[in-house]
A and B are shown apart, each in its own frame.
Chain A
Amino acid sequence: MNGGAIDRGGSWHPLVELALARLREFVREPEAIFWAFIFPILMSVTLAVAFPGSGSKPAIVGIEPGDGAKGIQEALERAPGVTVREIAPGNEARALREGDVHLLVVPTSPPTYRFDPAREESRVARLLVDDALKHAAGRTDPWSAREEPVQVPGSRYVDWLIPGIVGLNIMGTSMWGIGFSIVQARMRKLLKRLVASPMRKREYLLAQVGGRLVLLAPEAGVPLLFGVFVLGLPIRGSLMTTSIVCLIGALAFGGVGLLLASRARTFEAISGLMNMTMVPMWVLSGVFFSSSNFPQAVQPLIQALPLTALIDALRNVVLEGAGLAAVSRELAILAGWGLGGFAIALRFFRWT
């Protein structure tokens, strides 16, 4: 070695070439594009349809046949916010159990309400039905309150859900993308060939994570933009803060992905490890319902999970306009996962 200038013969720095190779392989894989971009949109649409804003949902009521059923039906059909659903005779109990109707009116005198008080929509239905029937029976109100309906943007379920979906997408694409490509390179003995060359091992691992970051903009951006333009999601925090949170989240899952892929030799092994890691987070980290539903005793564990940290930070920034300082704890947790995963992976990585 003469210590002269490095001549790479027209190639870029190995870190760039490795990241480019990673990126090229990804974009030449049509299935990967579907999972990264189309899937989160489909998921958002489905959930938006399944859970429309809570204010617009009518109470769905069934009526058992009998004397006076006709009068009850007429009274309820006039009542605002109540929809009467026809039920085939004999199926009343089943309709109630499966949530087809929220409440069943039995035309006794006075009427009987059959409903599950543990269901919120059933309790609402009971109030509405009770009010309508008593009115029809001739009750008069002492006064009518003046109502001021306020539509608060950002408070709907779907608004809360979108940051969760974004977090889920960042986790899924980072981990699957990195895990599968590394295991594939190991199975094809490409890793062995690379370490037989003067490639630096840490540069290979860095490039696996870095090559994916270019894709982060669409991966996080597509569901966010869909939320903004189609579902009316307000983004209260700055775009810069949102991007930084997404970026650190992707680095965290990149580190975890490297760690999981560091020893696995088959697709079966890496799939198992991925599912074992991600499925608990789908449930625990508050994607679809708040993680505060879980007992106090497991909260420290839940809070330490990278997906919880990412989703909490995203919700704070997107829905409440938090700045970086306000989510520094979450960002520190994410950085810890990213750096820790990378360091351990580099130490234990199986190249041959």
Chain B
Amino acid sequence: MTGIMTGVMCNNLMKRYGDVVAVDRLSFEVARGECFGLLGPNGAGKTTTIEILEGLLEPDAGDVQILGLTWRGHESELRQRIGTQLQETQLADKLTVEETLRLFRSFYHRGRTIDELLRLVELESKRRSWVGKLSGGQKQRLAVACALAGDPDLLFLDEPTTGLDPQSRRQLWQLLTEFRSEGGTILITTHYMDEAEILCDRVAIVDHGRVIAEGSPRELIATLGAPKVVTHQGTLEDVFVALTGRHLREE
């Protein structure tokens, strides 16, 4: 799985903030067309990892390839081909939904029209509303629409549904499923295990900056073995508890 078929490849990533090791020799690969989830609790290093992959942070060590290219020397091409949604971005409150999309769309050399984007994220009726007046779910859909403006090959999403109500979450999942059905690649971080089970082909469970397990949700759940789960179908939640228990996590 190299070159043209690689969506994301990172090898032995390291990132330190002072004495704190945020990312500790982290490696994984994501194939084109795949939806890959980085799972873990807050502070596990998910955001640092995804920001390194997005070319926003420089790793202390390790290699990164995005769509078969390195950031060094290919930044402007890669920026045209990826879409990003960052965890804490607040878009300008006093611009309308349409003005915000027009701004982001102007940066890309190809992509969807504003009308298509509005339809895609079901914000046509909010076209002329100020961003500051939108609900949390609407803001998050707008953020995803900005990420989709350039019709990207690869989408980075950092906890896109945190804080959303169940209906908004399902709306967003629907949107991402459509993106996948058109051949798009997704790298998503989440601390919701159910989200990973529904969306992801494969997940990597991250704790203390390292990958502690990797595989499809079904495979990971299968590793639990039958006796562990008696009252319900195993979930990734159970996998995480089992794994971090073994890893002597202190909380």
CB neighbours of A16 from chain B (8 A) = 106
Interface hits, B129-154 → A, CB 8 Å: 146, 149-150
Stretch at the interface among B13-21, B91-99, B190-198, B234-242: B91-99
User: Can you list, as one digit per residue, whether each of B96-116 has a CB less than 8 Å from chain A (1) or not (0)?
Assistant: 000100111111111111100
Task: Using A1-B77, A197-B79 as known contacts, say yes or no to A25 and B94 having CB atoms under 8 A apart.
Answer: yes
Interface hits, B204-229 → A, CB 8 Å: none
Give Cα distance in the complex from A20 to B146, angstroms: 17
CB neighbours of B114 from chain A (8 A) = 9-11
- The answer to whether A8 touches B90, judged by C-beta atoms less than 8 angstroms apart, is no
Does A12 count as interface, using CB distance less than 8 angstroms?
yes
Q: Closest residue to B111 on the A side, CB-wise?
A: A9
User: Can you list, as one digit per residue, whether each of A50-75 has a CB less than 8 Å from chain B (1) or not (0)?
Assistant: 00000000000000000000000000
Stretch at the interface among B22-30, B36-44, B81-89, B166-174: B81-89
CB neighbours of B103 from chain A (8 A) = 11, 14, 17-18, 20-21
CB neighbours of A17 from chain B (8 A) = 102-103, 106
- The answer to whether B56 touches A352, judged by C-beta atoms less than 8 angstroms apart, is yes
Interface hits, A25-39 → B, CB 8 Å: 25, 28-29
Q: Closest residue to B130 on the A side, CB-wise?
A: A28
Does B76 count as interface, using CB distance less than 8 angstroms?
yes
Counting residue pairs across A and B whose Cβ atoms lie within 8 Å, the total is 97
CB neighbours of A25 from chain B (8 A) = 92, 94-95
Interface extent on A, as a size class? 20 to 34
B30, chain A: closest CB distance, angstroms: 18
- The answer to whether B94 touches A24, judged by C-beta atoms less than 8 angstroms apart, is yes
Give Cα distance in the complex from A352 to B48, angstroms: 12
Q: Closest residue to A195 on the B side, CB-wise?
A: B56
Task: Using A10-B102, A189-B89 as known contacts, say yes or no to A198 and B150 having CB atoms under 8 A apart.
Answer: yes
CB neighbours of A11 from chain B (8 A) = 102-103, 105-106, 114
Give Cα distance in the complex from A83 to B4, angstroms: 94
User: A8, A10, A197: which contacts B84 (Cβ < 8 A)?
Assistant: A197
Task: Using A10-B114, A189-B89 as known contacts, say yes or no to A197 and B104 having CB atoms under 8 A apart.
Answer: yes
Interface hits, B176-202 → A, CB 8 Å: none
CB neighbours of B159 from chain A (8 A) = none
- The answer to whether A28 touches B94, judged by C-beta atoms less than 8 angstroms apart, is yes
CB neighbours of A29 from chain B (8 A) = 94
CB neighbours of B84 from chain A (8 A) = 193, 196-197
Q: Closest residue to A16 on the B side, CB-wise?
A: B106
- The answer to whether A1 touches B80, judged by C-beta atoms less than 8 angstroms apart, is yes
Task: Using A17-B103, A21-B92, A24-B95 as known contacts, say yes or no to A192 and B86 having CB atoms under 8 A apart.
Answer: yes
- The answer to whether B86 touches A189, judged by C-beta atoms less than 8 angstroms apart, is yes
Does B34 count as interface, using CB distance less than 8 angstroms?
no
User: B79, B110, B113: which contacts A10 (Cβ < 8 A)?
Assistant: B113
Interface centre among B76, B89, B95, B112 (most CB of A within 10 A): B89
- The answer to whether A21 touches B99, judged by C-beta atoms less than 8 angstroms apart, is yes
Q: Closest residue to A193 on the B side, CB-wise?
A: B89
User: A1, A9, A193: which contacts B105 (Cβ < 8 A)?
Assistant: A9
- The answer to whether A190 touches B150, judged by C-beta atoms less than 8 angstroms apart, is no
Give Cα distance in the complex from A14 to B150, angstroms: 13
Give Cα distance in the complex from A189 to B105, angstroms: 19
Does A6 count as interface, using CB distance less than 8 angstroms?
yes
Does A146 count as interface, using CB distance less than 8 angstroms?
no
- The answer to whether A8 touches B106, judged by C-beta atoms less than 8 angstroms apart, is yes
CB neighbours of A198 from chain B (8 A) = 76, 79-80, 107-109, 150
Task: Using A24-B99, A25-B92, A196-B56 as known contacts, say yes or no to A8 and B77 having CB atoms under 8 A apart.
Answer: no
CB neighbours of B91 from chain A (8 A) = 190, 193
User: B56, B86, B95, B106: which contacts A13 (Cβ < 8 A)?
Assistant: B106
Q: Closest residue to A188 on the B side, CB-wise?
A: B90
Give Cα distance in the complex from A1 to B76, angstroms: 11
Give Cα distance in the complex from A28 to B130, angstroms: 11
Interface hits, A307-352 → B, CB 8 Å: 352
B138, chain A: closest CB distance, angstroms: 17
Give Cα distance in the complex from A192 to B150, angstroms: 17
Task: Using A9-B111, A10-B102 as known contacts, say yes or no to A193 and B86 having CB atoms under 8 A apart.
Answer: yes
Give Cα distance in the complex from A29 to B132, angstroms: 13
CB neighbours of B88 from chain A (8 A) = 189
Does A7 count as interface, using CB distance less than 8 angstroms?
yes
19 A-B pairs within 8 Å (CB atoms) are namely A8-B106, A8-B108, A9-B111, A9-B149, A10-B105, A10-B114, A14-B106, A16-B106, A18-B106, A20-B103, A188-B89, A190-B89, A196-B54, A196-B79, A197-B79, A197-B107, A197-B150, A198-B79, A198-B80
3 tightest CB-CB pairs across the interface, nearest first? A11-B106, A198-B79, A188-B90
B residues at A contact (CB < 8 Å): 54-57, 76-77, 79-80, 84, 86, 88-92, 94-95, 99, 102-114, 146, 149-150
